[in-house]
Amino acid sequence: MSVTPEIYLDNAATTRPWPAAIASVDAMLADGYGNASSLHRRGAAAARAVGKAEGVLAALVGGGAWKVLFTSGGTESDVTAVLGTVPRGKRDALVTTTVEHAAIAEAGRRLGAAGARCVEIGAGPSGVVDPAAVAEAVDDRTALVSVTHVANEMGTVQPVAEIAARVKAKAPRCRVHVDAVQAAAQCARLEYPLAVDMVSLSAHKIHGPQGVGALLLRPDVSIRPLLAGGDQHGGLRPGTLNAPGIAGFAAAAGAIACRRSAAVPAMAALADRLSLGLCGAASGVRPLGAKEARAPGIVVIAVAAVRPEVLLHALETRGVLASSGAACHSRRREPPRCLRDAGLRAGEGSIRFSLSYDTTAEEVEGAVAAFAAVVEAVRAGHAGDV
């Protein structure tokens, strides 16, 4: 019996753990199982591994001085940045954008329900927010500006350095948080300026284990803890540190940092081929968002006259695994606002293909061939025959 080879193009949802990350997790589980807060030698060894990981993550975002809070992932990091900062005294406003991860949007809604203010700046058809519009929305009530570097569902790169500079020029006391969960693998280089106060990261987006992330803070940045129950991280994030996960996170981060300058341009070239191939495979297929702002490894297309979940299932029968957007909202019926703002029309479905450094030209060609083979059958209502 023949087995259809798998073509995994859902790396924005999660990535395949690399061997170095798996080996680091295994080693910590097998022989490094001490509690990093314990005072005996096993605890000290685990604490050293955590300290080493902190340095690797700081280097991943360009170096400099950072405090590192390890979390359960990007969602917790984002929510901690928002709810740990807003409100702050009389400053009770959050300024963010419509292309953020749901964690930021939901935290903003909670703030609004509690009487605070949340201002969302739209990205429009390009999928890129205007830094001037973000700065214009900041006033003396703004405690935090939160913006993603690479939009997870729109697949566009946001001008975070310019946003941070404009915000600080207008409101020096306002904090700036950047969600770099996708950017850590999608950008050939990360080097956040001092105007950026906090950065969110997640291990499983960079070929590390699931269930571990980090919120990096500048040394002078303080936040309120969202949990209670221990002195870990100085009480800012109580709970036993996930030392095996943190070790795997560090291994993946180190490998990403070594590979990305060469791997990202190659990945971008394959994404270009994929986008051209998909759009040429059938009528009524077009890319969403500004081409010049597209993340190197993320292709988001609009497909006329299909239900995205049906097309995705048909692609899976050909071995191609992709998504219609964020895995956090995979059962959502309506497309997110950012895709509608980018021009997604009624009757169109959106499909997101996301590559990794390991994606091959043969896989891209296979994905295009599979798409061409199933899209008309799906439109004709014969998805079960593909």
> Which residues belong to the active site?
328
**Tally of residues, the chain:** 386
Cis preceding linkage at 87, omega within 30: yes
Question: Cα dihedral sign for 3, 7, 10, 16?
Answer: positive
Query: Left if phi > 0, otherwise alpha if psi is -120 to 50, otherwise beta: which for 335?
Result: beta
- Identify whether the C-beta of residue 57 lies closer than 8 Å to the C-beta of residue 68: yes
Neighbouring CB atoms inside 10 A of 9's CB total: 28
Token pair, residue 314, equals 């048909």
- Distance between CA atoms of residues 292 and 155, nearest Å: 11
CA 347 to each of CA 9, 43, 197, 301, 303: distance values in angstroms, whole numbers, following the listed order: 24, 57, 42, 13, 9
Tokens of 58: 């700081």
Q: Which two tokens stand for residue 154?
A: 């729109």
Let me know: does 84 contact 69? Beta carbons within 8 Å: no
Alpha-helical segments (H) within the chain? 19-31, 41-60, 74-83, 102-113, 131-137, 160-170, 183-186, 243-281, 308-317, 337-341, 361-379
The whole-angstrom separation of Cα 163 and Cα 132 is 7
Give, as one character, the DSSP assignment of residue 309. H
Hey, what are 338's tokens? 């950012």
